[in-house]
């Protein structure tokens, strides 16, 4: 049963004579205001105030109570949430209280210069006098109320139910409210506050714990659990288990009964569109398109190539023709002839020609003659390097230069040769080793395989360890592959060395003047520091790695079960499971009775006080006139009222709980109020309409004359 | 203001006829004012209840005492009866499966579960 506010503006305010009292039930959760003598309050709304900013105009406005949430889209509510005037069950922020009263009176239809009606307003049991006097002051000074009476909501509710014959003159009122629960004993229809007791647990705490539990259980849907929504869930689904332990057992065992008791809230969820595998036709079509595109690209490349070849051929032909002409031209005319062509000398033309022929060859895809040349080198070495063996003093300076060039060329070509030779030898060696391995394998395949595996394992561990040392500085926690130097991550060896050098440079030179750089050695520091990580790699790891590669390839060849440890950890993305309907379900099982159970076990949410059932016992013991007779009379008429007693099963549970505490055989009767929520207002309305009401009010004059101490002792007489 | 907002009379009017002192007179705009209210704790302190007879009921002494019954311990995660207690996280748990869950919970969640029963570590 979700909370429904009634905030229609009333139009008949002026029809009521000024003697008709206005009755206000000022509860921590809801504010109810109406006329004395009527059966229902005129205006009901949540006792909260919001001060959001209007988005269009930017002004801060005041919104009291709960409204259509769709209208709040025009306001920026991010700065301030809903605020309450209550701390616990005591009004402490009178600015907010004033907004609430403004709204209440406004909706009741007030429009005169002041509120010219007596006011009966409820307060908590034993309200601190400061709160009481502030409230009186507010009503007197700001609204011009002629007289006020304060009463306790639970007492009005008890009185009202007593008049209806639901409970007796002597009895107990158990009132689990929004922020606190009370037990108030009544004797002869009067509340005995001495025997009263309060536990600071109420519907607020139930909703709060449900909200927290659900958002811990479903962190992804946290935004769904707004206060209003959870409040609705609580009112709709929560119940009190007759025996918590056995009820929880049901759920723990996963019985059928528990399944039936589990409620599921399906959040809006749209199934993702299912992707159909592409049909044969589709695949064929796609392949055709791809093929077509490839064909086009190939054609384009071919056309480009042929045009280039054409171009180059033309150029070569032109140059050849030019050379041919040049031969025929007379010696003296050469410069003038050349100036026309744009070339400076014959050599230039020739070099251009060779260049063009080379690129032509390249374009046609013929092998470069470079390769062929190197092959020729060996044979032609002696001819090419003819100057090498000639002594220096015989040669002219130009020839000397040439000789030096030849020397250089020769050494490089020889070096190349040697490398080739070495490669060949290594190849031979490997071949030999493989052959040896093969022989050994033939002798004892099992043993050989085992050995190979062990070797592989050792080697791979060694290599890995080295790698880790390098990247992670001996930090053996292998799951850190990022290598970045974040918080808590170790530096690698090179970085650590750099750090060490820097710190020694900074701190080892004493506190005096800075002499860094005075000596030349100081600057060596930078050389050391800039040394890169790779520099200190010796041959070792490379060799190991090569061996590792060889072993793994070998193992792969002969061992079908072998899986090589990949170098880089496969950074597999966590696979995204497609979200299903179940991911958008809020399942409420144990929560349904776990949250309201805190009314009986406040210590479950860290409040070290007695629960509802035990409170009755405490309350009876506190009675100054305690006797078994009185206790029996009281327990024979226990009324439960207040918002949190709407949980199904609370009556039976309370009866069982109180029976356990009270002596055997004592009469116990627990009844629920007719309407646990509205009875307090109705009782107050009846009371205010009574002829004796005016004797219980106090005016502004009284308030100022009698002072605070009087107000402290002020107490309504309910049984008039 | 949008027409539907005005229609619903969502916003509390600034001037109300029936008030002797308007809100804007009481709390003029643009004037910074300190906190002009007391928390419940401060209110109760100012009440000086210790000056009055303890037989007189007041807001503080009507509070109910701690329970006389041994408190039932429930699993912080599931709400089942919890015979066990994890010394590392100080969470209570019902069985081995939930223990696994507890040990895999991030610390933030552990603290939130503990905060539900007012047992979280509060750093000041």
**Is A626 part of the contact surface with chain B (CB cutoff 8 Å)?**
no
Q: Does position A485 have pLDDT exceeding 50, yes or no?
A: no
Give long-range contacts, CB 8 A cutoff, 24+ apart: A96-99: A96/A49, A97/A135, A97/A138, A98/A138, A98/A142, A98/B23, A98/B26, A99/A49, A99/A62, A99/A64, A99/B12, A99/B23
Which range, of A341-345, A365-369, A668-672, averages the lowest pLDDT?
A: A365-369
Question: Which DSSP state fits A240?
Answer: -
| pLDDT score of A92 | 93
In a 3-state reduction of DSSP, which class is residue A42?
coil
**What number is the ipTM of this complex?**
0.93
Most confident of A563-567, A691-695, A707-711: A691-695
pLDDT level of residue A302 (50, 70, 90 thresholds): very high
The b/e string for A527-563 (b: 16+ C-beta within 10 A; e otherwise) is eeeeeeeeeeeeeeeeeebeebebbbebbeeeeeebe
| pLDDT score of A353 | 86
**Is B7 part of the contact surface with chain A (CB cutoff 8 Å)?**
no
Contact residues on chain A for B94, CB-CB shorter than 8 A: 252
Pairing verdict, β B92-93 and A190-191: unpaired
**Is B108 part of the contact surface with chain A (CB cutoff 8 Å)?**
no
| pLDDT score of A371 | 46
Contact residues on chain A for B78, CB-CB shorter than 8 A: 252, 590
Contact residues on chain A for B112, CB-CB shorter than 8 A: 212, 216
Pairing verdict, β A638-640 and A171-176: parallel
**Is A201 part of the contact surface with chain B (CB cutoff 8 Å)?**
no
Task: Name which residue leads in pLDDT, A431 or A533.
Answer: A431
Residue % of chain B over a pLDDT of 70 = 98
Task: Name which residue leads in pLDDT, A379 or A234.
Answer: A234
Indicate which of B13, B45, B62, B76 best probes the interface with A, i.e. most A CBs within 10 Å of its own CB. Answer: B62
| pLDDT score of A2 | 62
**Is B73 part of the contact surface with chain A (CB cutoff 8 Å)?**
no
pLDDT level of residue A200 (50, 70, 90 thresholds): very high
Shortest CA gap B123–chain A (Å): 18
Contact residues on chain A for B45, CB-CB shorter than 8 A: none
Do the Cβ atoms of B65 and A609 come within 8 Å? yes
Contact residues on chain A for B2, CB-CB shorter than 8 A: 56, 74
Contact residues on chain B for A130, CB-CB shorter than 8 A: 38, 43, 46-47
Residue of B nearest to A251 (CA): B80
Contacts of A21 (CB under 8 A, 6+ apart): A35, A36, A117, A118, A119, A120, A149, A688, A689, A693
Which range, of A25-39, A421-435, A533-547, averages the lowest pLDDT?
A: A533-547
Q: Does position A123 have pLDDT exceeding 80, yes or no?
A: yes
Mean pLDDT of A50-72: 86
Task: Name which residue leads in pLDDT, A169 or B32.
Answer: A169
Q: Does position A374 have pLDDT exceeding 60, yes or no?
A: no
Q: Does position A596 have pLDDT exceeding 50, yes or no?
A: yes
Do the Cβ atoms of A142 and B21 come within 8 Å? yes
pLDDT level of residue A357 (50, 70, 90 thresholds): confident
Q: Whole-number mean pLDDT of chain A?
A: 84
Nearest to B57 among A112, A126, A252 (CB): A126
Contact residues on chain A for B119, CB-CB shorter than 8 A: 606
**Is A142 part of the contact surface with chain B (CB cutoff 8 Å)?**
yes
| pLDDT score of A487 | 47
Do the Cβ atoms of A615 and B64 come within 8 Å? yes
Q: Whole-number mean pLDDT of chain B?
A: 88
Shortest CA gap A542–chain B (Å): 41
Q: Which of A113, A95, A121 is nearest to A34 (CA)?
A: A121
Contact residues on chain A for B21, CB-CB shorter than 8 A: 141-142
Mean pLDDT of A91-95: 92
Residue-wise pLDDT tens digits, A30-52 = 999 999 999 999 999 999 999 89
Q: Does position A198 have pLDDT exceeding 50, yes or no?
A: yes
Q: Does position A220 have pLDDT exceeding 50, yes or no?
A: yes
Residue of B nearest to A214 (CA): B77
What's the order of all strands across the beta sheet hosting A147-152?
A: A43-46, A30-35, A22-26, A119-123, A147-152, A698-699
pLDDT level of residue B120 (50, 70, 90 thresholds): confident
**Is A715 part of the contact surface with chain B (CB cutoff 8 Å)?**
no
Q: Does position A649 have pLDDT exceeding 80, yes or no?
A: yes
Rounded-to-integer distance, Cα A601 and Cα A598, Å: 5
pTM of the model: 0.68
| pLDDT score of A435 | 87
Residue-wise pLDDT tens digits, A329-344 = 767 777 777 777 777 7
**Residue A211 · residue A642 · CB < 8 Å:** no
Q: Helix count (H) and strand count (E) of chain B?
A: 5, 2
Q: Does position A373 have pLDDT exceeding 60, yes or no?
A: no
Residue-wise pLDDT tens digits, A621-638 = 999 888 989 999 999 999
Most confident of A18-22, A364-368, A472-476, A716-720: A18-22
Residue-wise pLDDT tens digits, A441-462 = 788 878 888 888 888 888 888 8
pLDDT level of residue B8 (50, 70, 90 thresholds): confident
What residues 78-97 of chain B have any CB closer than 8 A to a CB of chain A? 78-81, 94
Residue-wise pLDDT tens digits, A247-257 = 999 999 988 88
Nearest to B40 among A90, A142, A605 (CB): A90
In a 3-state reduction of DSSP, which class is residue A698?
strand
**Residue B60 · residue A128 · CB < 8 Å:** no
| pLDDT score of B23 | 87
Residue % of chain A over a pLDDT of 70 = 88
| pLDDT score of A434 | 82
**Is B27 part of the contact surface with chain A (CB cutoff 8 Å)?**
yes
| pLDDT score of A381 | 55
pLDDT level of residue A618 (50, 70, 90 thresholds): very high
User: What residues are paired with A25 via a beta bridge?
Assistant: A32
Contact residues on chain A for B72, CB-CB shorter than 8 A: 244-245, 601
What is the distance of C-alpha A614 from the center of its chain?
Answer: 41
Do the Cβ atoms of B79 and A61 come within 8 Å? no
Mean pLDDT of A70-89: 87
Contact residues on chain A for B51, CB-CB shorter than 8 A: none
The b/e string for A128-162 (b: 16+ C-beta within 10 A; e otherwise) is bbbbbbbbbebbbebbbbbbbbbbbbbbbbbbbbb
Do the Cβ atoms of B67 and A610 come within 8 Å? yes
Nearest to A605 among B1, B78, B116 (CB): B116
Do the Cβ atoms of B117 and A604 come within 8 Å? yes
Rounded-to-integer distance, Cα A117 and Cα A16, Å: 9
Contact residues on chain A for B5, CB-CB shorter than 8 A: 71, 74
**Is A45 part of the contact surface with chain B (CB cutoff 8 Å)?**
no
pLDDT level of residue B86 (50, 70, 90 thresholds): very high
Q: Which of A529, A532, A548, A552 is nearest to A540 (CA)?
A: A548
Q: Does position B9 have pLDDT exceeding 70, yes or no?
A: yes
**Is B45 part of the contact surface with chain A (CB cutoff 8 Å)?**
no
């Amino acid at each position: 049963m979700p909370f429904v506010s009634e905030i229609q503006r009333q139009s008949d305010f002026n029809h009521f004579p000024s003697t008709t009292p206005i009755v206000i039930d000022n509860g921590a959760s809801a504010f109810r205001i109406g006329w004395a003598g009527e059966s229902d309050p005129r205006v009901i709304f949540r006792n909260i105030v919001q001060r959001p900013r209007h988005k269009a105009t930017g002004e801060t406005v005041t919104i009291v109570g709960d409204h259509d949430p769709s209208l709040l889209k025009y306001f920026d509510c991010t700065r301030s949430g809903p605020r309450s005037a209550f701390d616990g069950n005591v009004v402490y922020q009178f600015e907010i209280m004033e907004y609430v009263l403004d709204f209440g009176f406004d909706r009741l239809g007030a429009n005169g210069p002041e509120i010219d009606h007596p006011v009966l307003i409820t307060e908590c049991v034993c309200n601190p006098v400061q709160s009481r006097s502030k409230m009186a002051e507010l009503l007197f000074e700001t609204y011009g109320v002629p007289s006020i009476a304060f009463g306790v909501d639970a007492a009005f509710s008890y009185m009202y139910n007593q008049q209806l014959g639901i409970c007796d003159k002597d009895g107990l009122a158990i009132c689990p409210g929004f922020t606190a629960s009370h037990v108030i004993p009544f004797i002869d229809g009067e509340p005995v506050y001495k025997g009263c007791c309060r536990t600071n647990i109420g519907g607020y705490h139930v909703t709060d714990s449900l909200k927290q539990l659900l958002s811990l259980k479903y962190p992804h849907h946290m935004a769904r659990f707004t206060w209003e929504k959870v409040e609705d869930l609580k009112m709709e689904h929560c119940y009190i288990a007759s025996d918590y332990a056995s009820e929880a057992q049901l759920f723990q065992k996963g019985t059928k009964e528990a399944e039936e008791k589990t409620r599921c809230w399906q959040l809006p969820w749209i199934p993702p569109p299912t992707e159909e595998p592409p049909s044969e036709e589709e695949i064929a079509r796609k392949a055709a398109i791809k093929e077509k595109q490839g064909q086009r690209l190939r054609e384009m490349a071919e056309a480009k190539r042929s045009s280039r070849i054409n171009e180059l051929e033309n150029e070569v032909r032109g140059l050849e023709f030019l050379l041919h002409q040049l031969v025929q031209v007379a010696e003296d005319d050469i410069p003038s002839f050349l100036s026309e062509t744009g070339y400076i000398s014959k050599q230039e033309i020739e070099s251009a020609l060779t260049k063009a022929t080379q690129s032509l060859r390249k374009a046609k895809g013929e092998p470069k003659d470079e390769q062929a040349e190197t092959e020729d080198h060996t044979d032609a070495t002696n001819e090419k390097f003819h100057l090498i063996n000639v002594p220096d003093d015989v040669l002219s300076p130009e020839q000397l230069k040439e000789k030096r060039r030849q020397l250089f060329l020769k050494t490089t070509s020889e070096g190349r040769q040697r490398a080739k030779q070495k490669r060949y030898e290594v190849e031979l060696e490997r071949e030999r080793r493989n052959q040896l391995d093969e022989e050994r394998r033939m002798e004892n395949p099992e043993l050989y395989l085992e050995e190979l595996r062990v070797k592989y394992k050792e080697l791979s561990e060694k290599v890995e360890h080295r790698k880790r040392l390098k990247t992670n500085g001996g930090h053996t926690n292998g799951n850190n592959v990022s290598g970045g130097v974040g918080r808590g991550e170790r530096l690698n060896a090179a970085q650590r060395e750099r750090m060490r050098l820097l710190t020694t440079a900074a701190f080892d030179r004493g506190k005096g003047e800075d002499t860094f750089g005075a000596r030349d050695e100081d600057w060596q520091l930078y050389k050391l520091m800039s040394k890169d990580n790779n520099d200190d790699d010796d041959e070792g790891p490379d060799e190991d790695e090569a061996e590792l590669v060889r072993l793994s390839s070998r193992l792969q060849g002969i061992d079908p079960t072998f899986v090589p440890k990949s170098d880089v950890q496969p950074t597999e993305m966590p696979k995204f499971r497609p979200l299903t309907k179940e991911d958008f379900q809020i399942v409420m099982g144990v929560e349904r009775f776990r949250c309201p159970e805190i009314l009986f076990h406040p210590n479950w949410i860290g409040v070290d006080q007695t629960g509802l059932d035990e409170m009755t016992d405490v309350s009876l013991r506190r009675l100054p006139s305690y006797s078994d007779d009185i206790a029996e009379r009281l327990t024979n008429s226990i009324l439960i009222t207040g918002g949190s007693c709407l949980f199904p099963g609370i009556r039976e549970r309370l009866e069982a709980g109180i029976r356990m505490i009270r002596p055997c055989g004592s009469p116990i009767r627990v009844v629920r109020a007719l309407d646990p929520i509205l009875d307090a207002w109705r009782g107050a309305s009846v009371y205010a309409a009574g002829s004796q009401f005016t004797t219980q009010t106090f005016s502004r004059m009284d308030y100022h004359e009698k002072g605070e101490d009087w107000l402290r002792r002020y107490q309504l007489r309910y049984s008039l | 203001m949008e027409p539907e907002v005005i229609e619903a009379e969502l916003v509390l009017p600034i001037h109300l006829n029936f008030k002797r002192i308007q809100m804007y007179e009481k709390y003029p705009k643009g004037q910074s004012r300190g906190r002009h209210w007391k928390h419940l704790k401060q209110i109760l302190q100012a009440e000086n209840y210790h000056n009055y007879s303890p037989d007189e009921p007041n807001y503080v002494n009507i509070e109910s005492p701690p329970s006389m019954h041994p408190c039932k311990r429930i699993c912080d995660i599931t709400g089942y009866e919890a015979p066990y207690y994890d010394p590392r996280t100080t969470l209570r748990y019902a069985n081995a499966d939930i223990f696994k869950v507890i040990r895999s919970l991030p610390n933030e969640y552990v603290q939130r579960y503990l905060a539900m029963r007012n047992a979280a570590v509060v750093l000041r």
